[in-house]
Amino acid sequence: MLLQRFLMAFATVSLAACGTLFDGRPFTKTDGQVAASLGEIESGYTYIPVDPFPVETRLSASCREAKPDSTSVLLDSLPDNAVRMLVERFDKSGAITYGASKAGVKDESYRVTVDYINADTINVPVAITKFMRRKNTSPVSVDTEPVNLFATDLSEYVAGTERYEVTRVTTTKGVPGYVFNIPVYVGVGLRVSSYVYVTGANANISGIGVIGAEAEADRLKGSLVVQTLGVNGKSVASALPIQSELNRTTAQNAIVAVGSIKALLYASETITSPRVVGLYLPFPGGRALVNALISELSKERVEWYRACPAIPKT
């Protein structure tokens, strides 16, 4: 019964939004003024799944007396479970916007990612400086200058020339730019992602199962990927489906596979390794900012202080 509930939730998960996608970049209004997008005004924050990369595991203060040994279960040190969804929209100009959408538009591409993660959240302090090219300069000029990260009126600058410098820091003293704590999700999990191109007048992209049905109805075409995040083992590998095309059946198979692997997480033969599986963008930002953050975080392993849960008395 619990597995069935999980599969239903995973198949139909969608964010409660009105179909608006947001881009971290400002948009230009008819009067030439650059203003914040609707997504930025309403929230501007989102979960960003990333290709998993390793962490440096340390022992927290709770492990001074009860150090984890080879029999300890990694999942006992990961306090949070979540199913998260992100829709990335690729427009004709090549720009990427993030958010949630229920409907896809003809001739546009989308990537829908649904994550199940068993994770711990750590805060990584980084300094961020934003650069843009000022208008009325040479068209071939690549010179940019620092701009206010939260400025809403950037009419003097060329939209689309945003560049970000991101540096990990340990102190806020004497650090140029803005300093933020970026929430980073460390743990294990499962991911289903679909890259689709809308061929019909529109298509429903509110969930993986729905996307499969829309593909079968020839309203979109695309691919489907199922992957593990820090989870391995013979049973896990055999449970992964081999997809040849995107349709209702392969989408359902992907969802069933996720449920099967989830049931194997605590099995003794399953190998789990903590990985960075995602991050949370705490302010509006587009692909340039996300890439800069991921690049900086992956330069050197993020330190994760593993907690040692109290052992119940028998």
pLDDT at 203 over 70: yes
Residue 22 Ramachandran class (φ > 0 left, ψ -120 to 50 alpha, else beta): beta
Sheet strands (E) in 60-108: 80-90, 96-99, 103-105
Of the candidates 290, 292, 306, 268, the one whose C-alpha atom is nearest the C-alpha of residue 55 is 306
Task: Give the per-residue pLDDT at 1.
Answer: 52
Task: Give the per-residue pLDDT at 15.
Answer: 33
Q: What is the pLDDT of residues 161-192, one digit of tens each?
A: 888 999 998 866 666 668 888 999 999 999 99
Lowest mean pLDDT among 8-12, 73-77, 87-91, 147-151: 8-12
With helix as H, strand as E and coil as C, how does 6-51 read? HHHHHHHCCCCCCCCEECCCCEECCCCCEECCHHHHHCCCEEEEEE
Q: What is the pLDDT of residues 109-136, one digit of tens each?
A: 888 899 999 999 999 999 999 998 888 7
Core vs surface per residue 50-74: b (16+ CB within 10 A) or e: bebeebebeeeeebeeeebeeebeb
Report residue 120 as tokens. Answer: 């711990």
* Residue 195 parent element (H or E): strand 178-198
For the ranges 46-55, 98-107, 143-152, 304-313, the maximum mean pLDDT occurs at 46-55
Beta bridge partners of 304: 57
Task: Determine the Cα–Cα distance for residues 302 and 184; give it in Å rounded to an integer.
Answer: 9
Of the candidates 219, 217, 218, 221, the one whose C-alpha atom is nearest the C-alpha of residue 246 is 221
DSSP helix/strand/coil, 248: helix
Q: Select the more confidently predicted residue: 150 or 49.
A: 49
Of the candidates 280, 258, 113, the one whose C-alpha atom is nearest the C-alpha of residue 189 is 258
Contacts of 295 (CB under 8 A, 6+ apart): 166
Of the candidates 24, 109, 41, 56, the one whose C-alpha atom is nearest the C-alpha of residue 292 is 24
Q: What is the pLDDT of residues 274-306, one digit of tens each?
A: 999 999 887 777 788 889 999 999 999 999 998
pLDDT at 93 over 90: no
Beta bridge partners of 111: 88, 195
Total-model pTM: 0.80
Kindly state the average pLDDT of the residues 181-209. Answer: 88
Kindly state the average pLDDT of the residues 193-213. Answer: 85
